[in-house]
Amino acid sequence: MIVTLTPNPSLDRTIEIASLRRGEVQRATAVHVDPGGKGVNLSRALAANDQPTRAVLPCGGAEGDQLRALLAEQGLELAAVDVDAAVRTNVTVVEPDGTTTKLNAPGAPLTPAEAEALVARTVDTAAGARWVACSGSLPPGLSDAFYADLVTRLDGTGAAVAVDGSGAPLRATLDARPDLVKPNVEELAEACGQAVETIGDAVDAGADLRTRGVGAVLVSLGADGAVLVDAGGALYGWIPSTRVRSTVGAGDALLAGFLSVAEGGREQERDREGAWAGRRRALAEGLAWAAAAVALPGTRMPGPDDIDRTAVRLLDDLPAERHLAPS
């Protein structure tokens, strides 16, 4: 079982257009409404590939009812916490070349009682789980230490903990020693306070995070693939050619694929200082899922028929001087 926590879930409305022209009336070529939030996407990807998962999230208002209904249609097992505020709605505009413009709502605040209920539900649900993935932005009002405190609260459940956050919440989490963090290039640069312009920079920054006590760092590099930095060193992977329809959710698919085969739970805890035996397979699986995700519309997550593992390339001898493509 892989448990996901999404403190700030959403309804994601994706609008496909021929081109984005400010100040003009434009007709959409397609519209998709999907459940959203990074942890929700992660669970959706796992469920689509018959991986046991349970999604913890706050749910409120008519939008929350719609979110529950959409997730139920996908057969997702929920551990929802009822809250008063409505679930936020995000809008993504996608052009034919894959250019994506996102308008993300901040979300409504949780009361202290609702926040504590969310933490308690996550800890209870984690019992016996292999991984707990804490993902996405925090709604207004939650402390930057929310994920860090949760990592501490999860200690003793037997589950390994992955955190996919950004900004101050990510920086606060590092000292709590999560088993894995998954920043993108911008999030990694912000967490380390240094520029990340090449693959070598990403490796160095990932190693810097490990000196803070993080078990492993999985860096999503967008079109350039991904880097894993753990006790076994650095491993780089990419897919040479990928059709891009929507990049929304690609990082979530990367983490979902990685966790689907990565060691976790008590076995990972015993070997925290050693390299993961399945690290190569885990990185390759994550990359294959991510490549499949960007070829799909909206925030649809890939299933078995969408995933092509044969195109993945892994390198132990990193092209350290290769510059990363602009995000």
| Chain CA centroid to CA 288, Å | 15
Compute the average pLDDT of residues 175-195: 96
pLDDT of residue 138: 96
Q: What is the average pLDDT value for the chain, to the nearest integer?
A: 92
CB 240 within 8 A of CB 94: no
CB 286 within 8 A of CB 258: yes
pLDDT digits (tens, 9 = 90+) for 15-41: 999 999 999 999 999 998 989 999 999
pLDDT of residue 273: 44
Where residue 275 falls among pLDDT bands split at 50, 70, 90? low
Least confident of 89-93, 150-154, 237-241, 280-284: 237-241
Residue from 166, 167, 139, 162 nearest 150 by CA: 162
pLDDT digits (tens, 9 = 90+) for 208-229: 999 999 999 999 999 999 999 9
Residue from 320, 324, 321, 294 nearest 306 by CA: 294
Q: How far apart are CA 102 and CA 93, in angstroms?
A: 6
pLDDT of 207 over the 60 cut: yes
Share of the chain above pLDDT 90, in %: 81
Q: What angle do CA 293, 297, 302 make, to 5 degrees?
A: 30
Where residue 204 falls among pLDDT bands split at 50, 70, 90? very high
Where residue 299 falls among pLDDT bands split at 50, 70, 90? confident
Q: What is the largest CA-CA distance in the chain?
A: 59
pLDDT of 269 over the 50 cut: no
Q: How far apart are CA 223 and CA 135, in angstroms?
A: 21
Q: How far apart are CA 278 and CA 292, in angstroms?
A: 21
Compute the average pLDDT of residues 280-309: 92
Burial 128-142 (b: 16+ CB within 10 A, else e): ebbbbbbbbbbbeeb
Q: What CATH fold (topology level) applies to the domain 2-17+30-315?
A: UDP-N-acetylmuramoyl-L-alanine:D-glutamate ligase (3.40.1190)
pLDDT of residue 265: 53
Instruction: Kindly state the DSSP code that residue 222 receives in the 8-state scheme.
Output: G
pLDDT of 259 over the 80 cut: yes
Instruction: Name the phi and psi angles at 207, rounded to 5.
Output: -65, -35
- Domain layout of the chain by residue ranges: 2-17+30-315
Active site residues: 252
Bridge partners, residue 302, by sequence: none
Compute the average pLDDT of residues 183-205: 96
End-to-end CA distance of the chain: 33
pLDDT of residue 30: 93
